[in-house]
Amino acid sequence: QLNSNHLEPVAKGQTEHGAFLHVKTSQSQVHIVMEQRTSFLRRGKDAAPTIVEEVSQPRRSVIEDTGSISEEIRFHARELKNYTIEKLVAIFTSRDQGVTDPDTVSRQAISEAPSFNELFERHKKVWHELWTKADVNIDGDRFVQKVARLHVYHLLTTASPHNLQIDAGLPARGLHGEAYRGHVFWDELYIFPFYFLHFPEIARALLMYRYRRLNAARAYAREHGYQGAMYPWQTAADGTEETQVIHYNPVSGEWGPDLSRLQRHVSIAVFYNVWSYYSFTQDREFLEQHGAEMMLEIARFWASIARFNPSTGRYHIEGVMGPDEYHEKHPDTKKEGLKDNAYTNIMVVWLLEKAIKLQNLLPATVFNNLSRRIKFDLKEMEQWNDITRKMNLAASRNGIISQFKGYLNLKELDWEAYRNKYGDIHRMDRILKAEGDSPDRYKVAKQADVLMTFYLLSPHEIVRILRQLGYRVGDPGSLVKANYAFYEPRTCHGSTLSKVVHSALGRYLESKETTWRWFLKAMESDIYDTQKGTTTEGIHAGVMAASLSIIISNFVGISFRNGHIMVKPDLPSHWNRLSFRLVYRNNWYGFTVSRSCVSVRLLSKEGSGTVVLGDKEHTLTPAQPVCTLSRRRQDAQGVS
């Protein structure tokens, strides 16, 4: 029952060369003008098309309806002759830069437009440039090759170089349908690495969407009694909270409360993306003028929501939800939200440490000016530092990090019984609620939550943070293995995002099989519409982009450390060869990985970069642009 009619007619009519249609969006009042030119051509077999109005005068008429216009062309066709009708449309909106009257501009554009053939040549050239930067070429796997390109294509039709000029975020479901009303979520966390590695300028433009909504995030924090900036779970044009408050359950046919706005962790994602963008690009201008301000304000928010409890001697965060959307509150309480969600608390420690670093990272004048502008006092960092040592994590047993306070005491779900009864149990929340029960009572998750921490931080980093907080933990490898073994079987994977997280973690489990199994499920998500109907409402941009990241991070084994590119390939055994390009810290590199050899080439004409292949460090320069590692040496170095 959503209103799917978003356009109001303004004007339309016939023109000398075709027709035009002027509409405006019903809420935001953006004017959109489409001006059409139709030419009637006859194409000889080899000859270029020529305008042949004189040969057989076509009769044109327009058909008008409310908010629509079309053209009808009648002519006498001769048997065995080819005819071409060329329709060009110019589209301008009142939001285009340098345009005050989209009517005039579109009319002028269409009258000056060259032929379709010429436009098509330009179009191909632009796409060729995009593909050169983003393509991944896989020999040995037709399915993955096809789907990887499908994913690249849909990401680029959602956010492309056009985004540099417009104030737009990246909607979780692309620009392809009405799912989630085009809202922007934390899914950026999964999507941005694609842009960091192939189009950092687009990533920057998307981050600017967040920066322009920093004031709205400040207001949202204040509205809830916090300091700094709290980004809303779902956001659209003006940066205010857009999350629905009721949720339809198709299993029961009833509406119920929706608390998902308590996913305050979206502010962790914004911080993480700003920091990652800076690490990938070293774009100091962005950091100094925009990024640092977002980071400090987000850190302030987390420091204000974390409350010190003198009786535990620790900081706690309450009233939030983790990425697992099934748990909305503790069972048998009315209070909304959870206490001490591990993903949130660990990531907050990580981000506060990064925010503290800003003081030394920024030039003193920049830091001081910014502090003055946002009334930042260095004493705040003392408290942040205290939190990084005393943040609470709910008690853990046998190396299992408890998802939140009380999680380990929840009931086990009878998975077999539900599988037998319902078959598809991806949405256990809806099933349990329809039965008058609640997922809050069970160890059942929609998607990776504790494991999400391992998607963003390395197991070493997590162990370091846990030890710093005073928790006894074993070695990083055992920690990730134990938590995967515990949480994966208790997860429904009701979100496509869950699949990429579980695939990515395969690298720490030393399990090629795990990586591959989840990777395939991720690749199948949209092309097969595995959620049965959700793809028709819009693509899943998160899984599309993150599946491409798995190719780079897991199969080619690329990671970035201290400005170096580390490469440890682990290709699926049936892949013969893989090649692609990426940009890191302003230098473009070309990678070719085959069964017998890995080679990396510096493509930029200036600059230099360090690549670590196997255990050997190579400095690539324009004079010495290539490094290679042969299969024999890979084997000797234990690279599979």
Q: How far is the CB of 207 from ligand IFM (least distance, A)?
A: 18
DSSP, collapsed to helix, strand or coil, labels residue 136 as strand
Angle between helices 342-361 and 379-390 (to 10 degrees): 140
523: phi then psi, degrees, rounded to nearest 5? -65, -30
311, two tokens = 């009786």
Which of the residues 288, 297, 325, 488 is marked catalytic?
325
User: Nearer Cβ to ligand IFM, position 20 or 185?
Assistant: 185
Q: How far is the CB of 170 from ligand IFM (least distance, A)?
A: 11
Query: Any idea what DSSP says for residue 411?
Result: B
Nearest by Cα to 188 from 274, 301, 291:
274
Strand order of the sheet with strand 587-594?
136-139, 577-584, 587-594, 597-602, 626-630
Q: How far is the CB of 159 from ligand IFM (least distance, A)?
A: 15
78, two tokens = 């001769």
Fill in the amino acid letter for 188.
E
DSSP, collapsed to helix, strand or coil, labels residue 74 as strand
Are 18 and 85 in contact, with CB atoms under 8 Å apart? no
Burial code (b: 16+ CB inside 10 Å, e: under 16) for 577-594 equals ebbbbbbbeebbbebbbb
577, two tokens = 């060869």
Q: How far is the CB of 430 from ligand IFM (least distance, A)?
A: 13
Q: What gap in Å lies between CA 628 and CA 13, rounded to an integer? A: 63
Q: How far is the CB of 275 from ligand IFM (least distance, A)?
A: 20
Nearest by Cα to 519 from 536, 491, 537, 499:
499
Q: What gap in Å lies between CA 587 and CA 378, rounded to an integer? A: 36
Q: What gap in Å lies between CA 326 and CA 308, rounded to an integer? A: 27
Strands 564-567 and 609-613: parallel
User: Nearer Cβ to ligand IFM, position 323 or 406?
Assistant: 323
User: Nearer Cβ to ligand IFM, position 228 or 542?
Assistant: 542
User: Nearer Cβ to ligand IFM, position 426 or 490?
Assistant: 426
Q: What gap in Å lies between CA 235 and CA 195, rounded to an integer? A: 21
- Using CA atoms, how far residue 204 sits from 163, 197, 283, 354, in Å, is 10, 12, 9, 19
- Per CB under 6 A, residues contacting ligand IFM are 172, 180, 185-187, 323, 325, 495, 497, 542
User: Nearer Cβ to ligand IFM, position 323 or 572?
Assistant: 323
User: Nearer Cβ to ligand IFM, position 469 or 541?
Assistant: 541
- Using CA atoms, how far residue 376 sits from 264, 366, 368, 587, in Å, is 22, 13, 9, 36
Q: How far is the CB of 66 from ligand IFM (least distance, A)?
A: 34
Are 35 and 90 in contact, with CB atoms under 8 Å apart? yes
592: phi then psi, degrees, rounded to nearest 5? -135, 125
User: Nearer Cβ to ligand IFM, position 388 or 495?
Assistant: 495
Query: Any idea what DSSP says for residue 282?
Result: -
Q: How far is the CB of 277 from ligand IFM (least distance, A)?
A: 20
User: Nearer Cβ to ligand IFM, position 269 or 296?
Assistant: 269
Q: How far is the CB of 427 from ligand IFM (least distance, A)?
A: 11
488 catalytically annotated: no
Q: How far is the CB of 183 from ligand IFM (least distance, A)?
A: 8
Q: What gap in Å lies between CA 547 and CA 501, rounded to an integer? A: 9
- State the burial class of residue 384 (Cβ atoms within 10 Å of its Cβ: 0-12, 13-18, 19+): buried
User: Nearer Cβ to ligand IFM, position 18 or 174?
Assistant: 174
Q: How far is the CB of 179 from ligand IFM (least distance, A)?
A: 8
Question: Which H/E stretch holds residue 363?
Answer: none
181: phi then psi, degrees, rounded to nearest 5? 50, 30
Q: Give me the sign of the Cα torsion angle 113, 118, 124, 128.
A: negative
Query: Any idea what DSSP says for residue 302?
Result: H
Q: What gap in Å lies between CA 199 and CA 192, rounded to an integer? A: 10
User: Nearer Cβ to ligand IFM, position 326 or 580?
Assistant: 326
**Catalytic residue numbers?**
325
